[in-house]
Chains A and B, each alone.
Chain A
Amino acid sequence: MDILLQSIVTGVLLGGLYAIIGVGMSMIFGIMRLTNIAHGDIMILSSFLTMFFMQHVIGNPVAALLLTIAVMLVFGFCIQHFLINNVISKGDEPALLVTFGLSIIVSNGLFLIFGPAARGVPTELIRTNLINANGISVSSMYALNFVVAVAVIIALSLIMGRTSLGRGIRAASSDTLMSELLGVNTKRMYVYAMLLTVTTASIAGMLVGMTFTFYPTTGTQYLIIAFGCVVIGGMGSLVGTLLGGVILGLAQLVGASFLGSAYQQLIGFLVLLVILAVRPQGLLSKAVRK
């Protein structure tokens, strides 16, 4: 019983981490109808950057994160402005394949620079427990992940729902021509959306780096997790992404508590496959797939 309860608690908290990984992918999909295959690698790139900045530039994790975000914003601008914006109107396939190429470039670039070794962002949080009672323990790191995820998703929802920037992005995504007629440069809106995305990816990258070890090739693994959150939660829905992450985290850990931890990832992927086949529009979405 305790094991199951522990799995549920940990699963929900892990789901928070998954959600913050997925939220950027969800944004890009919701706004540009683009599946960004490089999303996982972009996130791992920020894990490496944060680690690098903490080791060589500034020890303070928050300062290192800010530096990472600054670099990632430049990177995000470049890939959107020079690459994706130029192929986005040519149909789904070219843009998808461009992000695929990007994914390979980033992961191999990281491999060249940092080598194949396992890395981590140093933190004490992973070794401490926030709660440790009645046989249930809550890791401080996992708790932080969940809190940050919820905060980021609320912040993003507010930006998208309440600000002029968010309105512009939403308008550009729902009717490109009408937005242009109102003077909204839709390509620029896509750039802004990508900047928001890389910011969340930077935060996710730091949290992932603190929670787990990572390699240059880890990105693809997290891409599938991000995709899972997005699909389960309904493409483009921010709150749905949180729910998607929690469902995926729960499926993995509860499944693992019955079958053994070796099957944790496999169970998550199988759940995802079933959902993809049965309800590809997502669990929350009422929309019908085109």
Chain B
Amino acid sequence: MISEKEAILTLDGLNVSHGDLQAIFDVSMRFPRGKIVSIIGANGAGKSTLLNTIMGVHRPTSGTIAFEGRDITGARTSGIASLGIAMTPEGSRVFEDMTVTENLLMGAYLPAAKRKRGEQFEKVFSMFPMLKEKSSQLATFLSGGQRQMLAIARAIMMDPKLLICDEVSLGLAPVIIKDIYRKIGEINETGVSIILVEQEVRRSLQHSAYSYVMAKGRIVMEGASDALPIDEVNDAYFGINRFA
């Protein structure tokens, strides 16, 4: 268990419903500062709802969310983002009709980020040289992998304290996935805390320090990633509880 003090983000007893359907049941999580934490779960396990709740898209029916000790439950999405949480949503969602540079500038939209945007541009371009080459191209002409890189780079432009990556590997070739995970590692080394949300069990465990496994809207298993036995995680992933 992660202590309150080392956590950058704390979820406490969250319940979330879509209308009459409850999607998240009593979820409590702690995300340690400076570490990579993964949330593993199948499609429909409630991962996306959970992330959207953290980002203020959904309002929980009960429970609290605290970022750096500050209650952000029910705050406006843009307000939460401005505190230093960046999220790359599923499917990259780059602005198709904007150039690569314009997309990156959107990452540096907040005043704090805008002030250091020269520095951030350098950082991003050295991390993703491809983006520098294509800087004046419209994002709509980028390949799937390049879009995902752009989405991550755009998030880095925000100079976040916490980066949430939702399904970054979805639909990409293994070589590119490997590359993206290497970059995420590099970002983490600069001191950014990271939450990885994944469907792929082995990859998640391999790249994170701590893992939560979700099934049917609940946390069914958690622990240091290297201590979690992969076959048990697999069972939990599919909602099989061998301890029941």
A and B touch in the complex (CB under 8 A): yes
Considering the complex, which residues of chain B in the window 92-108 have a beta carbon less than 8 Å from any beta carbon of chain A?
93, 95-98, 102, 105-107
Instruction: Kindly state the separation between the CA atoms of A73 and B82 in the bound complex, as whole angstroms.
Output: 27
Number of chain B residues whose Cβ lies closer than 8 Å to a Cβ of chain A: 26
Do A182 and B76 touch (CB < 8 A)?
no
Question: Which of the residues A168, A174, A177 comes within 8 Å of B109, measured between beta carbons?
Answer: A168
Q: Contacts of B95 on A, CB cut-off 8 Å?
A: 170-171, 174-175, 178
> Hey, which chain B residues are within 8 Å of A182, CB to CB?
78, 81, 86, 106-107, 109-110, 154, 158
B236 interface hit (Cβ, 8 Å):
no
CB proximity to A under 8 Å, residues B52-69: 55, 57
Contact B106 A171 (CB under 8 A): yes
Contact indicator A178/B93 (Cβ below 8 Å): yes
| Chain B residues with CB below 8 A from A168, complex form | 106, 109
Q: Is A180 an interface residue (CB 8 A)?
A: yes
Q: How far is the CA of A180 from the CA of B89 in the complex (A)?
A: 12
User: Could you say which interface size class chain A belongs to?
Assistant: 10 to 19
CB-CB under 8 A from A177, the residues of chain B are 57, 77, 89, 93
CA distance A183 to B155 in the complex (A): 11
Complex CA–CA separation, A135 to B137 (angstroms): 51
Per-position 1/0 for B38-64, Cβ under 8 A of A: 000000000000000001010000000
* Interface membership of A66, Cβ < 8 A: no
B197 close to A (CB within 8 Å): no
Cross-chain contact A185 with B57 (CB below 8 angstroms): no
Q: Which residues of B contact A (CB under 8 A)?
A: 55, 57, 76-79, 81-82, 86-87, 89, 93, 95-98, 102, 105-107, 109-110, 113-114, 154, 158
- What separation, in Å, do the CA atoms of A175 and B78 have in the docked complex? 13
Interface string of A91-121 (1 = CB under 8 A from B): 0000000000000000000000000000000
Query: Chain A interface mostly helix, strand, loop or mixed?
Result: helix
Task: State A186–B102 Cα separation when bound (angstroms).
Answer: 17
> In the complex, what residues of B have CB within 8 A of residue A125's CB?
none
Cβ–Cβ < 8 Å partners of A170 in chain B:
95, 97-98
Chain A residues whose C-beta falls within 8 Å of the C-beta of B77 in the assembled complex? 177, 180-181
Q: Which of A155-170 contact B (CB under 8 A)?
A: 164, 167-168, 170
Question: Which 7 A-B residue pairings sit nearest by Cβ, starting from the closest?
Answer: A180-B77, A183-B81, A183-B110, A185-B78, A178-B93, A183-B82, A180-B78
CB distance from A162 to the nearest CB of B (A): 10
A164-B109, A175-B93, A175-B95 known; A181 and B87 CB under 8 Å?
yes
Chain A residues with Cβ under 8 A from B154's Cβ? 182
Task: Tell me whether B89 and A179 are in contact (CB under 8 A).
Answer: no
CA distance A190 to B227 in the complex (A): 50
Report B-chain residues with C-beta under 8 Å of the C-beta of A183: 78, 81-82, 109-110, 113, 158
Q: Which residues of A contact B (CB under 8 A)?
A: 164, 167-168, 170-171, 174-175, 177-186
Q: Tell whether, in the assembled complex, residue A174 and residue B97 are in contact, meaning their CB atoms are under 8 Å apart.
A: yes
CA distance A4 to B38 in the complex (A): 73
Q: How far is the CA of A175 from the CA of B81 in the complex (A)?
A: 15
CB-CB under 8 A from A178, the residues of chain B are 89, 93, 95
Complex: A65 Cα to B39 Cα, angstroms? 58
A177 to B82, CA, bound (A): 14
Do A167 and B106 touch (CB < 8 A)? yes
A285 vs B110: C-alpha distance when bound (angstroms): 33
Q: Which residues of A contact B55 (CB under 8 A)?
A: 180-181
Task: Give B209 Cβ to nearest chain A Cβ, in Å.
Answer: 25
Query: Are the C-beta atoms of A167 and B98 separated by less than 8 Å?
Result: yes
Q: Using Cβ atoms and an 8 Å threshold, which residues of chain A touch B106? A: 167-168, 171, 179, 182, 184
